[in-house]
């Protein structure tokens, strides 16, 4: 009887994995790769702005009719939104918990001055915070229009042009895109290590891929505000 009780109390495999550092790092790696996939698609879609008002607004309309007639209007978009929100929340929660663990595990925690986290760790933490704030601003700006005066629902081309006609719009987006580049560069590399893809032979390729991804994403996203500022897109 006593044995049965002890067995009953054993935590489930999912629970054990969630509580472990390696489990949390795996959740961060997988959720990060999901967000990365979205970002590559989003950056590609944004570049349609160079093909004019019709192409950009048609693309936004296509996003809403994706999967029809099997799926109803905006269903596919809502599925993407739910997956993304889950990925953002899991990524953020695990990052927070891992950083608490990291601080608690430092040997000289009773000494007044704690050793500083490494440059990469600090960049990832601050980058993550900047990106989380940016995502909230970005949705209020270009999806709901809450912080965007003159927002026109269903007219993303005009809305993007308006966002980048203000100095603060350009500053917010360009700073966030630079933070994104640094975050992706280190995050992709870390995810590969966590998922066990790294090896002495592959590390050069992985580092090269991380650099290329970060560069393409940053340049692709920044191309839009730069094009509006310089009048290439008007």
Interface residues with ligand HEM (CB under 6 A) are 39, 42, 46, 60, 63, 81, 84, 131, 135, 138-139, 142-143, 156, 160, 173, 180, 221, 224-225
Nearer to ligand HEM, 46 or 99 (CB): 46
Whose CB is nearest to ligand HEM? 60
Nearer to ligand HEM, 32 or 189 (CB): 32
| DSSP per residue, 100-141 | HHHHHT-TTTTSSSPPPPPHHHHHHHHHHHHHHHHHHHHIII
Smallest distance from ligand HEM to CB 31, Å: 13
List phi, psi (to 5°) of 195: -80, 5
Residue 198: is it exposed, middle or buried by C-beta count within 10 angstroms (0-12/13-18/19+)? middle
Neighbours of 97 (CB within 10 A): 16
Nearer to ligand HEM, 138 or 207 (CB): 138
Q: Are 221 and 177 in contact (CB under 8 A)?
A: yes
Smallest distance from ligand HEM to CB 125, Å: 16
Smallest distance from ligand HEM to CB 206, Å: 22
Smallest distance from ligand HEM to CB 145, Å: 10
Residue 103 token pair: 């601080």
Nearer to ligand HEM, 192 or 233 (CB): 233
Nearer to ligand HEM, 53 or 63 (CB): 63
Smallest distance from ligand HEM to CB 205, Å: 25
CA 48-53-58 angle, to 5 degrees, is 70
Nearer to ligand HEM, 152 or 193 (CB): 152
Tell me how far apart the alpha carbons of residues 206 and 200 are, in angstroms, rounded to a whole number. Answer: 10
Task: Quote the DSSP letter at residue 148.
Answer: -
Smallest distance from ligand HEM to CB 54, Å: 14
Tell me how far apart the alpha carbons of residues 233 and 189 are, in angstroms, rounded to a whole number. Answer: 35
- Alpha carbon of 189 to those of 35, 117, 124: distances in Å? 15, 18, 12
């Amino acid at each position: 009887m006593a044995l049965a009780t002890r067995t009953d109390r054993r935590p489930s495999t999912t629970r054990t994995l969630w509580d472990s550092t390696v489990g949390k790092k795996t959740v961060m790696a997988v959720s990060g790769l999901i967000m990365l996939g979205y970002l590559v698609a989003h950056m590609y879609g944004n570049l349609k702005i160079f093909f004019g008002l019709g192409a950009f607004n048609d693309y936004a309309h296509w996003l809403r009719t994706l999967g029809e007639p099997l799926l109803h209007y905006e269903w596919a978009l809502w599925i993407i939104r739910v997956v993304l929100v889950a990925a953002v929340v899991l990524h953020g929660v695990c990052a927070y918990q891992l950083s608490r663990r990291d601080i608690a595990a430092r040997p000289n925690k009773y000494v007044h001055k704690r050793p500083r986290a490494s440059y990469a760790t600090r960049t990832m933490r601050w980058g993550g915070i900047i990106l989380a704030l940016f995502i909230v601003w970005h949705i209020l700006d270009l999806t709901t229009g809450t912080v965007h005066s003159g927002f026109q629902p269903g007219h993303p081309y005009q809305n993007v042009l308006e966002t980048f006609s203000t100095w603060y719009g350009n500053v917010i987006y360009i700073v966030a895109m630079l933070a994104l580049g640094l975050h992706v560069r280190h995050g992709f590399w870390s995810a590969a290590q966590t998922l066990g893809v790294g090896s002495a032979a592959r590390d050069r390729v992985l580092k090269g891929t991380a650099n290329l991804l970060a560069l393409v994403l940053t340049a692709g996203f920044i191309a839009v505000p730069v094009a509006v500022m310089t009048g290439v897109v008007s």
